[in-house]
C-alpha cells in the first residue's frame, strides 16, 4: 500500500504515528502541495486534494486520518490497540479523537498559517478565536491528564495519535503555560518512538520554512 502525505502536515503525522505503532509497512509518497504541478498531479489521483491518503494494493483509496488510523488498527494486531475496550470505551476514544482534530488541531493549524502571513494580512479575528479554543482545550486536557498517562488512561490510543502533532506545533505558537500535566504528557508523546521517526522527517522541512519566512 502507498501513503500520500506531507511530512509537516498534522493530519499526515497522525496517520504516520498510527502506521508506525501498528508496524505496518507502506510505500511513502510525499505530495508537494505547495507546487502547482505536483498539486494538480495529486488531484488527478484524489480530486479533493487533501492529505493523507492511503491507497491499498488493489487500488482502494482510504482518505482522512481518522479512517486511516481505524484501518491500520483493524488490519494489524501488532502494537497497541488504538481503539480498545467495549463499545462505550471505543466511543470515548473516538470522542477525544474528534476533540483533538476539530478544536485543537484545526485551531493550531490556523495559527500556523496566519503566522506565516505578513502581519497586515493576518486575520486577527481568526487568531483570537483559535487561541480561545486552544486555551479551552489546554484546560480540558490538563485536567484529564492529572492522573492519566495517556488521554484514555494507561492505553495509548487514536486520541493520542491525534494530539501529538498539534501539541508539537503549539509549543511555539501557543505555549502550555502553567499546564504542567499537559506539558508532561506532550513530552511523553514527543519521545515516543512512533513520533520520533515522524519528527525526523518533518523537522528539516520545518527548518527550511522558518529560514524562508
pLDDT tens sequence across 152-207: 999 999 999 999 999 999 999 999 999 999 999 999 999 999 999 999 999 999 99
Q: What is the largest CA-CA distance in the chain?
A: 51
Number of H helices, E strands in the chain: 9, 4
Percentage helix, strand, coil for the chain under 3-state DSSP, each rounded to 5:
65, 10, 30
Residue with cell 502507498: 2
pLDDT at 209: 81
Reduced to 3 states (helix: H, G, I; strand: E, B; else coil), residue 5 is strand
- Asked if residue 6 lies in contact with residue 65, where contact means CB atoms within 8 angstroms, the answer is no
pLDDT surpasses 70 at 47 = yes
Please give the grid coordinates belonging to residue 47: 480530486
pLDDT surpasses 90 at 212 = no
For CATH 3.40.30.10, list the domain ranges present in the chain.
Answer: 2-75
What separation in angstroms does the CA of 28 have from each of 6, 22, 180? 10, 16, 36
Residue with cell 492522573: 147
pLDDT at 16: 98
Q: At a CB cut-off of 8 Å and minimum separation 6, what does 185 contact?
A: 141, 145, 149, 150, 151
Reduced to 3 states (helix: H, G, I; strand: E, B; else coil), residue 146 is helix
In whole angstroms, what separates CA 69 from the centre of its chain? 11
pLDDT surpasses 80 at 74 = yes
- Asked if residue 12 lies in contact with residue 51, where contact means CB atoms within 8 angstroms, the answer is yes
pLDDT at 213: 60
For the residues 138-142, what does the mean pLDDT come to? 98
Distance CA 143, CA 176 (A): 13
Fold of 2-75: Glutaredoxin (3.40.30)
pLDDT at 8: 96
Distance CA 55, CA 123 (A): 36
**Which CATH code is given to the segment(s) 87-212?**
1.20.1050.10
Percent over 90 (pLDDT), the chain: 95
80: exposed, middle or buried (Cβ count in 10 Å: 0-12, 13-18, 19+): middle
Q: Residue 12: how many CA atoms within 13 Å on its side-chain side?
A: 23
What separation in angstroms does the CA of 124 have from each of 115, 133, 167? 10, 14, 21
Kind and range of the H or E run holding 4: strand 2-5
For CATH 1.20.1050.10, list the domain ranges present in the chain.
Answer: 87-212
Amino acid at each position: 500500500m502507498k501513503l500520500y502525505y506531507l511530512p509537516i502536515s498534522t493530519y499526515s503525522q497522525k496517520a504516520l504515528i498510527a502506521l508506525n505503532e501498528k508496524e505496518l509497512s507502506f510505500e511513502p509518497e510525499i505530495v508537494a502541495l505547495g507546487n502547482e504541478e505536483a498539486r494538480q498531479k495529486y488531484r488527478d489521483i484524489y480530486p479533493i486534494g487533501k492529505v493523507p491518503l492511503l491507497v491499498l494494493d488493489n487500488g482502494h483509496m482510504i482518505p482522512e486520518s481518522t479512517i486511516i488510523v481505524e484501518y491500520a488498527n483493524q488490519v494489524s494486531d501488532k502494537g497497541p490497540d488504538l481503539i480498545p475496550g467495549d463499545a462505550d470505551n471505543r466511543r470515548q476514544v473516538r470522542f477525544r479523537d474528534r476533540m483533538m482534530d476539530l478544536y485543537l488541531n484545526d485551531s493550531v493549524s490556523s495559527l500556523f498559517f496566519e503566522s506565516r502571513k505578513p502581519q497586515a494580512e493576518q486575520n486577527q479575528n481568526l487568531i483570537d478565536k483559535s487561541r480561545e479554543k486552544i486555551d479551552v482545550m489546554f484546560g480540558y486536557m490538563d485536567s484529564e491528564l492529572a492522573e492519566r498517562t495517556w488521554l484514555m488512561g494507561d492505553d495509548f490510543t487514536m486520541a493520542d495519535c491525534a494530539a501529538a502533532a498539534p501539541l508539537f506545533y503549539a509549543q511555539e505558537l501557543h505555549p502550555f503555560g502553567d499546564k504542567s500535566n499537559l506539558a508532561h504528557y506532550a513530552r511523553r508523546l514527543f519521545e515516543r518512538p512512533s513520533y520520533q521517526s515522524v519528527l525526523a522527517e518533518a523537522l528539516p522541512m520545518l527548518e527550511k520554512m522558518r529560514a524562508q519566512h
